[in-house]
Amino acid sequence: MTTEIWQLSESELLADAAAVSHQIQLLEARRIALVAEIDTRVSREKLGFPGPAGWLTSTTLLSPSKATKIVALARGLKNFPDIADAVNTGVMTVDHAALILTFAETPPKNLPQAGQDIARKAMIKAATGPQARTGRIREAITKLNDRFGGNKPPPEDTDRNELFASKTLNGRLVLKGDFDAITGEKLLTALSPLTEPRPAADGTQDDRSPAKRRADAFGHILDQYLASSDRPIEGGERPHLNLHISLRDLTDLRDSADADDITDDIADDENTRAADESDDDGHPATDRGAYRDLFGDGTTVGWLPWMGPLSRNTSRQLACDCVLTAIVMDENGNPINLARTARTVTAKQRKALIARDHGCAFPGCGKPAAWTEGHHIWHWGDGGPTDMNNLVLLCGFHHRLLHHSDWEVFIGVDNHPWFVPPATVDPYRQPRPSHARAGPHIA
């Protein structure tokens, strides 16, 4: 019988927390070992993804970055048994293992093999046990890179250049970069004239912090680039900001009617529908109206292909100066049929597909729309038309998967794509909703 946590003594609480932490370390090590075996033995057709990272993201609560890190460890630890042993016995954290593995896989150019082995063993020792500190390991790696990194001094070594762009849970973007001196000089030179404090017309002091001024300047540079004509083609057109929003939400109701009257009308309409709708157990569905669009398909607020949902107010701000493409949608958020007899997807059809599928429609994928292609469900060569009910957006991998495996796709009664896995993945072959439609919905 399990003792309730509140019944444990202070000593038992401490002991149990330490024991559970050790078990978590061992479970993480086992997950890495399992992923390594999956990577080697399980076919990409059965996974439904180019590798285990996509499968992990789509079937577990892991984020894409965490799944990618696990796969990198699973592949890399095979070549370094000493690091793997420390992880498997639970004496080293996965984070420390990843740090040491990165050093072991990309050692300083002029560090001899014997030196690499000695350095790696020293790092493993430093990373072992509760007293291990990440800072000490990073410091050792930095010293080795500075001493054995090659002929170029660190400021001029372009091989070290990195830029990370990570979406946060609250819908923002965090950037982290490491650039050589020349690239850094270009960036700071471009930012400099745009980061000076700019008093208001009445002389009011610019109270923005230096960090805020740099962020505003960076946004201005992006605006100038996207407004220029010297840009490469992606997805059949030059990169530009795309915003998807329903006409209802784009229109400012206050300009066309009294807001209070409209609010009352909406409330009356919701109450009428709530009275008509009831669950089988007799409970009225009064809560459904208020939360009907909470887990909708993305058409009830502004939506950006890369960053996702955007508030109505900011969406309207963007719409003040834009090129508007009207796409008529049905009640399920599906574009009304844009029939074509040509083989290739037209620019307007592609916009409509993006409005419906958002990106790669394959369940669990969701790669950005710019990286997708239009797939004919009923193949063009077999007489399939190029219209909305015969098209679906897929990334390159899933496009090939649909053509060369037993995965199937069809347009459901909701006019959205549904995917049928092969029997090797699901013996019952239960259809799965597209990536944009997966998740909770309130009827």
Q: Which residue ranges make up each domain of the chain?
A: 8-149, 153-196+210-225, 236-256+297-329, 347-437
- Tens place of pLDDT per residue across the chain (443 aa): 578 999 999 999 999 999 999 999 999 999 999 999 999 999 998 999 999 999 999 899 998 889 999 999 999 999 999 999 999 999 999 999 999 999 999 998 889 999 999 999 999 999 998 889 998 999 999 889 888 876 666 778 888 899 998 888 888 999 999 999 899 999 999 999 899 888 877 788 888 999 999 999 999 998 888 877 776 666 556 666 777 777 666 665 334 444 444 344 434 444 444 444 444 444 444 444 444 454 554 445 677 877 878 777 777 666 665 666 666 666 666 666 555 555 677 888 888 898 899 899 999 998 888 889 889 998 876 778 888 889 999 998 999 999 889 999 999 998 899 999 999 899 999 999 998 886 544 33
User: If we measure between CA atoms, which residue out of 346, 344, 362 comes closest to residue 416?
Assistant: 362
Cβ burial of 85 (10 Å; 0-12, 13-18, 19+) is: middle
Cα three-residue angle 307-312-313, rounded to 5 degrees: 105
Residue 391 and residue 353 in contact, taking contact as beta carbons nearer than 8 Å: yes
Residue 304 and residue 310 in contact, taking contact as beta carbons nearer than 8 Å: yes
Residue 195, SS3 per DSSP: coil
Q: How far is CA 261 from CA 254, 270, 275, 291, 292, in A?
A: 10, 14, 21, 21, 21
Amino acid in the structure at residue 317:
Q
User: If we measure between CA atoms, which residue out of 310, 436, 440, 439 comes closest to residue 367?
Assistant: 436
Cα–Cα distance measured from residue 121 to residue 80, given in angstroms and rounded to the nearest whole number: 11
Residue 409: strand pairing partners: 419
Q: What is the CA radius of gyration of the chain?
A: 27
Q: How far is CA 299 from CA 240, 264, 329, 367, in A?
A: 20, 23, 10, 18
Q: Which class in CATH covers the domain with range 347-437? A: mainly alpha
Cβ burial of 58 (10 Å; 0-12, 13-18, 19+) is: buried
Q: Is the dihedral of CA 33, 36, 40, 46 positive or negative?
A: positive
Backbone angles phi, psi at 308, to 5 degrees: 95, -145
